[in-house]
């Protein structure tokens, strides 16, 4: 297959936090070929345009464009003449910067005339002056431009002006956010008129388009706009300029510039793959979570062992060369790692007893590693003893380790047999596997995770949910893949007082805050756990009253749910979900037993406020073991 050459990449300085030198440094460190210099970043920089030019040269960055030049076209005199003078001044700046391209965005001025022929005449004059200095101009229709707000209108003016130094700038946000597309572009606009391309994604929001654009843009792949088909249309029309990211986003402005810049380049790599320009190693086929690993020391390991014993787990093995135990119930494997001098030990020092890794079962771990490397995610390879299997891992954006184990290899010979002395015995066999692993995410990190799970693993984010905790809002988004074999809800809270917020501050960072185990029948599994004195979370009577009213459940069923501390949900298609929670272990993470039936795909979000309030009441106590008596 003949893959056309990769196009140069660029990022607008407005995407990144910091001063202009910080932004340039971050763009270069991520590996961008160039930048868009945003005028505001130049105005606030304490140095000359020549200094900026030299900085960029030293960093190996091209200045792809200078922008924006506002409210230029179709003004009555004397503003028309003044605007042409203003343009000459900016041409001086461009020449000092060493860039030849200026972006002019469509006017929002109250006095702009609704006359395309006037706009075209002005652009012709401006382009003529630019051409005298070897400069070029591109015209961008802002979605909120007063008279010009669609690319076809901008094209009409560019065509009418008919000057070789004048072309179009297309911005995916301004086209896609108002619901427009590039249909007809290839047939109407010759490739040499496609001067510049800006790429931005965004969530679908119902608000005015200006606010949407100025605060909520995202990198391609982080939002919901069809950016890949947009790029495909431009490439089909013959565009050969840079792929440039232009993201106005409040969280990006506040985040570390290197992380954001790197996400930006990852998003472009992913986008190029979508349009067949970057042949990355293919997406993995995921078939579930093979194990969850906890960082513990000896004392915490013993306590955690006792805790999971109440959910029917038993110690099923000890590692051949390391201080690591395998605990198992049915299809769930928990690894308790207290090996000094390991990734787990490092995690334990920073976070205390907590989940330090998860292992995804995939078709080909080494292909995932190669894909991760192509996307600049970091790889982890643990040292191993003789004869033990090496399990590669990749670091999630918060540093959490995701191990990759081969599905076929696991089926041929469970990894546990190579690395562990397995101990004979019977567990309760009440659990089928990991239904979901929920993570608390530091504010500002959600979009990095969206890109990580989507670009590397092909997991699709679900609709965002708002969950009211007694002390603030928790925003939740679930990533689902592998035909439902893997489900990863991510929770974020601006408030430090919510359960999620406290978790993030208590464990000095983010991570897995609960793990839900799938059972064929939650009631049976919970009954067995209760018999082992599992610390189940108490659910108030009011909840069951309301449940009866909402779903019309029979009294006996309600009584049974209440007795077992089970929560219940039903979707529109009649699918049902039953689930019960434990109290938190050391105020850090908690466990859940769930069963789904009738194709239910959610997480019982409607019950989350009840759970969060119960946990707030419960605090850190281990809870009343056993079942509730209903008097
Ligand atoms: O929000 C703006 O004003 C603005 C400026 C320049 C652009 O390229 C753009 O897409 C938006
Ligand atoms: Mg733009």
Residue-level length of the chain: 631
d(CA 230, CA 296): 49
Ligand closest to Cα of 211 equals: 1
Ramachandran angles phi, psi of 393, nearest 5°: -140, 165
- CA 570, distance to chain mean position in Å, is 28
The pLDDT value given to residue 630? 41
β-strand pairing of 332-337 with 324-329: antiparallel
Please report the sign of the dihedral spanned by the C-alpha atoms of residue 547, residue 549, residue 552, residue 556.
positive
- Structure tokens, 286: 């995921």
Binding-site residues, in ranges, read 140, 171, 198, 246, 436, 514, 592
The pLDDT value given to residue 631? 38
The pLDDT value given to residue 624? 45
Q: Which tens digit of pLDDT belongs to each residue from 399-421?
A: 889 999 998 877 777 778 888 99
CB-based contact 209:143 (threshold 8 Å):
yes
CB-based contact 595:549 (threshold 8 Å):
no
CB-based contact 140:111 (threshold 8 Å):
no
Residue 6: DSSP 8-state: P
What's the gap in Å between 14 CA and the centre of ligand 1? 10
Tokens 């089970």 belong to: 566
What's the gap in Å between 571 CA and the centre of ligand 2? 41
Model confidence at 1, in pLDDT bands (50, 70, 90)?
Answer: low
The pLDDT value given to residue 286? 96
d(CA 174, CA 186): 18
The verdict on the CB of residue 171 being under 6 Å from ligand 1 is: yes
Cis bond upstream, residue 378 (ω within 30): no
Q: How far is CA 390 from each of CA 226, 339, 382, 417, rounded to the nearest angstrom?
A: 39, 16, 7, 13
Helix 499-506 and helix 608-618, axial crossing angle in degrees, nearest 10? 50
What's the gap in Å between 315 CA and the centre of ligand 2? 58
What's the gap in Å between 246 CA and the centre of ligand 2? 6
Q: Which tens digit of pLDDT belongs to each residue from 270-293?
A: 999 999 998 899 999 999 999 999
Strands (E), 457-603: 460-461, 465-469, 472-481, 486-492, 511-518, 567-570, 576-581, 590-597
The verdict on the CB of residue 246 being under 6 Å from ligand 1 is: yes
Residue of 210, 217, 246, 250 to test ligand 1 pocket, by largest number of atoms within 8 Å of CB? 246
d(CA 222, CA 203): 8
- Structure tokens, 305: 């062992």
CB-based contact 107:147 (threshold 8 Å):
yes
CB-based contact 346:368 (threshold 8 Å):
no
Q: What is the mean pLDDT of the chain?
A: 93
Atom from ligand 1 closest to the CA of residue 210: 1
Name the closest-CA residue to atom 2, ligand 1. Answer: 214
- Structure tokens, 537: 């979370």
Model confidence at 508, in pLDDT bands (50, 70, 90)?
Answer: low
The verdict on the CB of residue 36 being under 6 Å from ligand 1 is: no
- The mean pLDDT of 598-602, rounded to a whole number, is 95
Atom from ligand 1 closest to the CA of residue 103: 8
Name the closest-CA residue to atom 11, ligand 1. Answer: 142
- Which of 396, 400, 435, 295 lies closest to 354 in space, CA to CA? 295
Q: Which tens digit of pLDDT belongs to each residue from 316-329?
A: 999 999 999 999 99
What's the gap in Å between 213 CA and the centre of ligand 1? 8
d(CA 194, CA 176): 18
Atom from ligand 1 closest to the CA of residue 169: 8
d(CA 516, CA 438): 8
Kindly compute the dihedral angle of the four CA atoms of residues 149, 151, 154, 159, in this order, to the nearest 10 degrees.
-160
CB-based contact 133:139 (threshold 8 Å):
no
Q: Which tens digit of pLDDT belongs to each residue from 459-498?
A: 998 888 888 888 889 899 999 998 889 999 999 988 888 8
d(CA 464, CA 489): 10
- Which of 159, 178, 196 lies closest to 67 in space, CA to CA? 196
The verdict on the CB of residue 68 being under 6 Å from ligand 1 is: yes
603 pLDDT higher than 90: yes
- The mean pLDDT of 534-541, rounded to a whole number, is 95
Percent of the chain with pLDDT over 90: 82
Kindly compute the dihedral angle of the four CA atoms of residues 576, 577, 578, 579, in this order, to the nearest 10 degrees.
-170
Residue 444 gets the label, from left (phi > 0), alpha (psi -120 to 50) or beta, of left
The pLDDT value given to residue 59? 98
Ligand closest to Cα of 209 equals: 1
Name the closest-CA residue to atom 5, ligand 1. Answer: 68
3-class secondary structure, 434: strand
The verdict on the CB of residue 105 being under 6 Å from ligand 1 is: yes
The H or E element spanning position 143 is none
Binding-site residues for a divalent metal cation, in ranges, read 140, 171, 198, 246
3-class secondary structure, 123: helix
Model confidence at 150, in pLDDT bands (50, 70, 90)?
Answer: very high
Name the closest-CA residue to atom 9, ligand 1. Answer: 142
3-class secondary structure, 360: strand
Atom from ligand 1 closest to the CA of residue 174: 10
The pLDDT value given to residue 621? 41
Cis bond upstream, residue 78 (ω within 30): yes
The pLDDT value given to residue 448? 96
Q: How far is CA 141 from each of CA 136, 191, 500, rounded to the nearest angstrom?
A: 17, 18, 42
- The mean pLDDT of 563-585, rounded to a whole number, is 97
- CA 587, distance to chain mean position in Å, is 27
Residue of 10, 104, 140 to test ligand 1 pocket, by largest number of atoms within 8 Å of CB? 140
The pLDDT value given to residue 428? 84
The pLDDT value given to residue 343? 87
- The mean pLDDT of 338-362, rounded to a whole number, is 93
DSSP string over 38-94: EHHHHHT-SS-HHHHHHHHHHHT-EEEEEEEE-S-SSPPTTHHHHHHHHHHHHHHHH
């Amino acid at each position: 297959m003949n893959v056309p050459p990769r196009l140069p990449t660029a990022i607008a300085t407005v995407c990144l936090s910091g001063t202009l030198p910080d932004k340039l440094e971050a763009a270069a460190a991520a590996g961008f070929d160039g930048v868009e210099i945003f005028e505001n970043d130049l105005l606030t920089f304490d140095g000359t345009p020549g200094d900026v030019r030299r900085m960029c040269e030293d960093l190996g960055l091209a200045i792809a464009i200078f922008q924006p030049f506002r409210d230029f076209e179709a003004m009555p005199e004397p503003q028309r003449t003044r605007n042409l003078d203003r343009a000459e001044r900016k041409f001086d700046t461009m020449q000092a910067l060493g860039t030849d391209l200026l972006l002019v965005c469509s006017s929002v001025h109250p006095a702009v005339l609704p006359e395309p022929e006037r706009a075209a005449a002005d652009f012709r004059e401006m382009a003529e002056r630019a051409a005298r200095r070897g400069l070029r101009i591109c015209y961008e229709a802002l979605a909120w431009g007063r008279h010009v707000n669609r690319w076809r209108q901008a094209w009409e003016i560019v065509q009418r002006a008919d000057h070789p130094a004048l072309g179009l700038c297309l911005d995916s946000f301004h086209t896609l956010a108002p619901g427009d597309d590039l249909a007809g572009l290839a047939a109407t606009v010759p490739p040499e008129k496609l001067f510049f391309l800006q790429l931005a994604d965004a969530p679908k929001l119902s608000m005015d388009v200006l606010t949407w654009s100025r605060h909520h843009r995202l990198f391609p792949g982080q939002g919901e706009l069809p950016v890949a088909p947009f790029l495909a249309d431009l490439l089909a029309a013959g565009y050969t300029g840079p792929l440039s990211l232009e993201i106005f986003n409040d969280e990006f402005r506040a985040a570390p510039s290197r992380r954001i810049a790197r996400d930006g380049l990852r998003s472009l790599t992913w986008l190029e793959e979508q349009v067949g320009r970057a042949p990355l190693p293919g997406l993995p086929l995921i078939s579930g979570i093979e194990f969850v690993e906890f960082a513990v020391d000896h004392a915490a390991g013993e306590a955690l062992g006792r805790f999971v014993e109440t959910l029917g787990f038993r110690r099923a093995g000890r590692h051949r060369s390391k201080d690591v135990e395998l605990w198992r119930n049915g299809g769930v494997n928990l690894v308790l790692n207290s090996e000094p001098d390991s990734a787990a030990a490092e995690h334990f020092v920073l976070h205390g007893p907590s989940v330090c890794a998860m292992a995804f079962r995939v078709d080909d771990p080494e292909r995932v590693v190669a894909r991760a490397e192509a996307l600049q995610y970091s790889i982890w390879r643990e040292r191993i003893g003789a004869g033990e299997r090496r399990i590669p891992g990749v670091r999630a954006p918060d540093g959490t380790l995701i191990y990759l184990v081969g599905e076929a290899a696991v089926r041929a010979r469970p990894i546990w047999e190579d690395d562990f002395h397995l101990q004979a015995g019977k567990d309760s066999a009440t659990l089928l596997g990991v239904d979901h692993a929920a993570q608390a995410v530091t504010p500002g990190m959600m979009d990095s995770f969206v890109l990580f799970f989507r670009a590397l693993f092909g997991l699709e984010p679900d609709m965002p949910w708002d969950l009211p905790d007694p002390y603030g809002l928790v925003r939740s988004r679930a990533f689902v893949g592998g035909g439902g074999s893997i489900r990863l809800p991510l929770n974020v809270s601006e408030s430090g007082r919510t359960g999620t917020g406290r978790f993030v501050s208590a464990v000095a960072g983010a991570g897995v805050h609960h793990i839900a185990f799938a059972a064929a029948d939650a009631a049976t599994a919970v009954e067995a756990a209760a018999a082992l004195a599992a610390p189940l979370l108490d659910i108030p009577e009011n909840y069951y009253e309301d449940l009866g009213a909402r779903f019309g459940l029979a009294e006996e069923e309600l009584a049974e749910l209440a007795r077992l501390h089970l929560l219940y949900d039903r979707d529109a298609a009649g699918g049902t979900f039953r689930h019960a929670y434990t109290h938190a272990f050391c105020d850090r993470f908690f466990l859940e037993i769930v069963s789904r039936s009738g194709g239910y795909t959610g997480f019982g979000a409607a019950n989350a406020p009840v759970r969060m309030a119960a946990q707030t009441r419960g605090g850190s106590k281990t809870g009343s073991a056993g079942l509730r008596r209903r008097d």
